[in-house]
Structure 1
């Protein structure tokens, strides 16, 4: 309104980030505060007073406060790094510290239960790893760097997927570890997706086709009931699903490209994800540019678009329409994609310039909208010499 005053502040220090004084027609953004971490990233809507932070980083995590004459609101911004990997790989969750201070205390916690996994207390010069928690799933798998506080998990399994949080006096970081089993197939093949159970006890098992978030099979041991829902999705699974009543493993027979996509197995509230893909094959001459078409003519509102290099199960590019953010992760995988990737912001198509034999491998294009994950493109690329 005409006499409104609005101020946005950040963190415990209550550092002013932006303000509007409507009476004098003044709108100010303080992007240079706090070592310039917000420089060129703040946008203040002069009509509503809403604050936008672009190209967000971990250092922007924290408490934000809005104060007006009539309203006081607080927001806690938590930024999560998503890491996807294959079962059996090792992963390091980096603290981004080069060295811990003498008074620093670091804790790593896991899951919705916020279970303590590891901690370093510099004041008492102690370092402890609690790898026997949660039924011992982390035993002999956790390594804590006593200089940086970074946490390494070795020989990962599906039970290690989930949310990890690092808390200290100076750092707060969150990671979501996503473990994906990739299964390649040819049209007409039969594919078995293993539950990794040897015998179902009192388990409740559900299989979902995440590309449409549809339940396709379930076992309820207590009710002694096994059900296959093969008539869903216009009958694409009809007479093709077989559920093993002893192990819960799911077999899909006579597969087609319609069956490609993301599958999710839930056993007593624990989830495993699988990506079933039919790869088109293409050969490219070394030094050429390759454009992998997304198959889309435009980006749909509300969908997350992700390109993965499946040889390492690593994100190499993505589009997040919620924050109008287009990102190329060209420093991953030893930097082999550095300065070579270009993402079309209109269609999501990906170009690899000056391609080399290092770029040989499998590429996948996924979209995610709420619980629905769709596989749009799967391409196996081979690169031959000049």
Structure 2
């Protein structure tokens, strides 16, 4: 069901040294995850393709794959390939069904005929992978649905009772305009992925005019509203003052995919200090923290609460700087650090933008994607192409395989030296994203390139700069 997790099991008791596991999706078997184990250490890659970004979890012991908070689009064929002494594969068929709502607790809402019914979604902030569903009546008639991640919204125009009356806000609240007695009944909303649900019992009564009691109530409401407005003005003045202070402690950082980015605290930590780093909403748990700092000059690896940062984060010795290795575009966003000591509390924010390298070439020419990664013995080398990460080159232990669509057009003389790849006789079908993954027992290194037609380079770069600018302007 949409919003539920799906677990695909390898049936391995554990991953052995020199094992390689590939998970593919769809008819083209696009690579969504790779697991390799060497010298008792396991390295893992999960795709950042938008359909799966932030949803994949890999069991480091068995290689089993979990897809969190599923949608209908995750239905399809998954292929598991396990390379040991021999290569074996298995096919999984996954069907993700529509939502069936289960709720508890009821709120009463009463309006007069002709007024609007506003059913407020209590979730203060929506997450990017939330799926919001509204239903009506004992039969659970689907009224509206919005997928926050894709911003896709659908309303029930087939039911005559609700035709041209439904409005679904971006925060998930539902409005029924020009209500009629036939709209009386039970309404249900559920946010899939976080198991949040609400029920509303709506009563629409006939319009019988205003009584003196109603008029007195309106006068009282106006007085209360005036007091509320005064409180709001005071609140926002304070909020603006707080934001001005935050801007003064804000730093913008840009980096390229596959490189290392360091977010500098600008201070020296003392013994006993507490340091916390957040990514995105600071109401969520910190991605990493140290509750009692011990002075050291060495950078230290740390546990993380967010799978996107697994095996990528260190805290800088002496300063608590956040060091993000092999950074990716999914790591773009707002970071916040808080340092608390006996005599101080320091806060600082960072706006991080991660870009993909752009390489321009003309049709018919050759292009070399230079990675400058030192290849070591036993490394697994994978080059993929396109938004679905279709595998085009795989090299391991001296054996190399090439995709049929690129066969005869690749030069691999530097592949086993530094991972670089040359593509000859470029066609229009070759424009897009190429990604290199180099996996070994210690780490997972990668590079990504956006290969574009030479005549469009200026337009692409301007578009990238504009997106970066809009992202910065959108930060609260």
Q: TM-score range by the shorter chain?
A: 0.3 to 0.5
Provide the TM-score with structure 1 as the length reference: 0.36
Which of 1 and 2 has greater Rg? 2
